Amino acid sequence: MKDVNRAKKILIVDDEEKILLILRKHLESLGYIVVSAKDGIQALDKLNPDIDLVLLDYQMPGMDGLEVTRQIKKSEQFANLPIIFVSAYTERKDRINAVEAGADDFAAKPLDLLEIQKRVEVHLQKKEAQDALKQQQQNIEETLLKRTKELQESEKRLRLITENVPAIILQIDQDRTITYASHPPIGITHKEVIGSNFEKWFKPEFEKELKATIKHVFSTGESRDCEATGTSTERNYTFRFNPVQHDGLIENAVIIALDITERKRAEEKLSYQANVLSNVSDAIISTDSNLQIKSWNPAAERIYGWKENEVIGKSIDEVCQTEFVDISQEEAQTILLKEKSWTSELLQKNREGKIINVLASVSLLKDNEGNIISGITVNHDITERKQAEEALRESESRYAQLAEQSRTVTWEVDAEGLFTYISPVAEKIFGIRMEEIVGKLHFFDLHPEEGQEEFKMAVLVLHST
């Protein structure tokens, strides 16, 4: 059994020395133990149970990545070993070939170290969960096999034991008929289960795999695992099929079934939330009650220039160098504690010291007892908008100065011909003050009375086209 607290070991396989060095340096900086191989043969030689994940090149001299993957996945010992292809071969057919060979993921070259880092983290976490579940299944299996021996002496005693374990324990014969159930799955009665065919309770798409698994157990005497979803209940189960021998013959198989529905839903929810956080354009930052950074999404890395591992545990004000614009920090904190949320514009700095404008929205999170446990900050980068607004103000100011200094009359009218603006020089020319013109007179009102009506109609026709 592996020590879950030990540093994870990653095997990198690539025929380019430069790629090996880049990946090794980056992964070792993250605390991983790195083993490298320059080709497929060397990779298989270095493969051992301590390897937690493989980063594999697609195209290599001799044995390519696809064949290496097939060789690894042939062994039941490495069936759950995550393999991530890292290759410049990114066509759809290349990805399909990799998946068919047994690869778990695909990262494109040129290298995106952050992408590779995140993919490695996800697959290592998944493997750790799988290993833990497998260990749990093995523990239950060991207990069950011990009790099975006791069943030959006292079936009644075994029933008392099996009916009190959290897993569903079933027994089937060679025809896949259920002959015993400690307790039936949710939504099914005990009477319905006994004497029924095992795979009938699961969705049709799982029938082929279930039949093949059971056949393998009875024909080889080896234990096997698989998963399936219930037909009517939509519950997810993982199974451990164990052969039961009597006088050298396999007459029955005992099945340990664990309901993993909630775990599946939690994994899907976490995966969805992680995807959302990775793809939003706003910086989303969580802090503890002391304003120490707990999480820092990819958008925050892009806006501020700091990587997540560089800021975790640091003060958000220290990292962002926050400067409050409209109110003081103390006033902002007072509002936040009272309203539990606060939104305002702030001035902050990125890693290079460049000032950025952000629209910050801060919310507090509390525990069941009402104590503040963390804060969530969503920062929207409005620097470009602010720069555009400032440029517009400067342009308007320059335009106004030109209009005031020019001897040419400049004006603006609406669709009805009503003045909305006229330059100051008009007062000298027409002898009428600006405030008597803007919003009060029409363009044609300044035309001589003779022909004024025709001019008015011409102006209105022009604005209507």
Sheet with 323-324, strands from edge to edge, namely 293-296, 283-288, 372-381, 355-366, 341-349, 323-324
The token pair at 375 is 């804060």
Helices 113-151 & 155-162 angle (0-180, nearest 10): 150
Torsion sign over Cα 95, 98, 100, 105: negative
User: Fold for domain 166-264?
Assistant: Beta-Lactamase (3.30.450)
Rg (CA), the chain: 36
> What pLDDT shows up at residue 11?
95
> What pLDDT shows up at residue 9?
94
For the chain, give every domain's residue range: 9-132, 166-264, 280-386, 406-464
Q: What CA–CA distance (Å, rounded) separates 63 from 41?
A: 7
| Measured torsion, CA atoms of residues 280, 283, 285, 291, in degrees rounded to the nearest 10 | -170
Cis check: omega of the bond before 110, within 30 degrees of 0: yes
User: Fold for domain 9-132?
Assistant: Rossmann fold (3.40.50)
> What pLDDT shows up at residue 421?
72
> What pLDDT shows up at residue 307?
93
pTM over 0.85: no
Torsion sign over Cα 143, 148, 154, 157: positive
Tens of each residue's pLDDT in the chain, 465 residues: 555 567 899 999 999 999 999 999 999 999 999 999 999 999 999 999 999 999 999 989 889 999 999 999 998 889 889 999 998 887 888 889 989 999 999 988 888 999 999 999 999 999 888 888 888 888 888 887 887 776 666 566 556 555 556 678 888 898 999 888 877 776 778 788 888 888 888 888 888 998 999 999 999 989 999 888 887 777 888 889 999 887 888 888 888 888 888 887 877 776 666 666 666 788 888 898 888 999 988 888 999 999 999 999 999 988 999 888 888 888 888 888 888 888 888 898 999 999 999 888 888 888 888 788 888 888 888 888 888 877 777 776 666 666 566 666 666 767 677 777 766 766 666 667 777 777 777 766 666 666 666 666 665 665 555
| Residues counted in the chain | 465
CATH class of 280-386: alpha beta
Tens of pLDDT, residues 171-211? 889 899 988 887 777 677 878 888 888 888 888 888 899 89
> What pLDDT shows up at residue 158?
58
Q: What CA–CA distance (Å, rounded) separates 83 from 64?
A: 14
> What pLDDT shows up at residue 255?
86
Q: Which residue, 208, 193, 188, 205, is CA-closest to 255? A: 193
The token pair at 101 is 């060979």
Tens of pLDDT, residues 72-90? 999 888 988 999 999 888 7
Same topology for domains 9-132 and 280-386, yes or no? no
The token pair at 289 is 């009650």
CB atoms within 10 A of CB 59: 12
Q: What CA–CA distance (Å, rounded) separates 297 from 311?
A: 11
Question: Which residue matches tokens 């007062």?
Answer: 427
